[in-house]
Structure 1
């Protein structure tokens, strides 16, 4: 029966992976929307910061960023808290995994949304403004619905890569499905047929 042996542990690992992926997706989309807005902004400093963010994050491997953010951030926070005589801070691996994956894939979503924003014909935006709509109404009624049509293929691709990247969180101590199956295979010496 599935719920004997490693079954319950595998279910908990699967649920952990699903939670990690969904929360990271939501945060990545939010970061991506803000990043795309910054890249298309008229304010030059916002454009430069967003360009630096997307270029830097997309050029460094995900594993390196994850290990740097988890271990270096924790060391940095603990050195600050030690200097002001506070308690040591331990970062939860789940929270660190969600934040790190969202930070990494927010850069990819930024480019997806930037391209989708630019694909909407300018004439439709001009017509909406001429009709008397506020900028928020133009975004909600004209720009966002059409932009999402162009962004959906990229969102699907980024979602698939994000799900694959959730396997990296087992390296920072989170017991997701990858870590649990690895431990089960090692303990039973049957990598494919453990029960």
Structure 2
């Protein structure tokens, strides 16, 4: 029994020294986590803009706009996210290289990994956010919209004061789920060389030939980020639903 306890103690001590010691990797892991959060936020915001336009096209657009929006959401929700990342990275790099050749450059010009991540995550999440916004709009009380029109409220004013606040109110739970999805998808950006959490974990595991401590630490960090952001979305939902019957 004492041998087992001693063995477990040695493992824990070694883990603490490896991650949190004087020459530990915790600094690089946290730096990678920060990059993960940044690229996720960028992708989420970009996706929100894209999703808003797509939702508008589905709700109020013409036949062509609705068709394009439906094709976009169908394709982006059906294609693996990694393929979208590769498409943006290699396609964008090929485009930049072609432009450089027009100006006499023969060098390969790669699209920055961070921009690739933001664009890819944004385009993918935009398809999901569009459906969230469309569903939230469907939950609006048609009586309020008709009342606003009956008193002569301008369309832009009605959009700012009635539609946007209430759509966001009903969209928060769905947006929270999409945010969690983006956090997980951000790990895929490591294939482009972005130094985020998974990239650092893989690099540390390769350098020390001790994969378990670093991948375990990465899991813990991801769970902490998920828990904190989930708590934040829950608070926003509670605040947004104040005064709503049944909330």
* Fold conserved between structures, TM > 0.5: yes
Residue of 43, 54, 57 corresponding to 1:24: 43
- Does residue 184 in structure 1 map to residue 207 in structure 2? no
In the superposition, the TM-score normalised over structure 1's length comes to 0.92
Residue 10 of structure 1: aligned partner:
29
- Does residue 131 in structure 1 map to residue 151 in structure 2? yes
Alpha-carbon displacement from aligned partner over 1:80-124 (angstroms, at most 9, x marks no partner): 542x24435321101111111101111110111011112112221
Contact 2:92–2:110, Cα closer than 8 Å, also in 1:
no
Q: 1: distance between equivalents of 2:185 and 2:114? A: 14
- Does residue 100 in structure 1 map to residue 148 in structure 2? no
Residue of 23, 27, 49 corresponding to 2:68: 49
How many corresponding residue pairs?
194
Q: 2: distance between equivalents of 1:178 and 1:72? A: 24
Q: 1: distance between equivalents of 2:68 and 2:96? A: 24
> Equivalent residue of 2:87, what SS?
helix
Q: 2: distance between equivalents of 1:99 and 1:162? A: 12
- Structure with the larger RCO, 1 or 2 (CA within 8 Å, 6+ apart): 1
Residue 57 of structure 2: aligned partner:
38
Q: How does 1:67-106 map to 2 (within 5 A)?
A: 67-82=86-101, 84-87=102-105, 88=107, 89-106=109-126
What 5-or-longer segments of structure 2 have no aligned partner?
1-16, 218-247
Deviation of residue 74 (structure 1)? 1.5
Q: 1: distance between equivalents of 2:91 and 2:59? A: 32
What 5-or-longer segments of structure 1 have no aligned partner?
none
4+ aligned runs moved over 6 Å, structure 1: none
Contact 2:96–2:110, Cα closer than 8 Å, also in 1:
no
Residue 183 of structure 2: aligned partner:
163
Q: 1: distance between equivalents of 2:156 and 2:136? A: 18
Q: Kindly report the root-mean-square deviation, in angstroms, between the aligned alpha carbons of the 2 structures.
A: 1.8
CA radius of gyration, larger in: 2
In the superposition, the TM-score normalised over structure 2's length comes to 0.73
Contact 2:89–2:192, Cα closer than 8 Å, also in 1:
yes
Deviation of residue 7 (structure 1)? 2.0
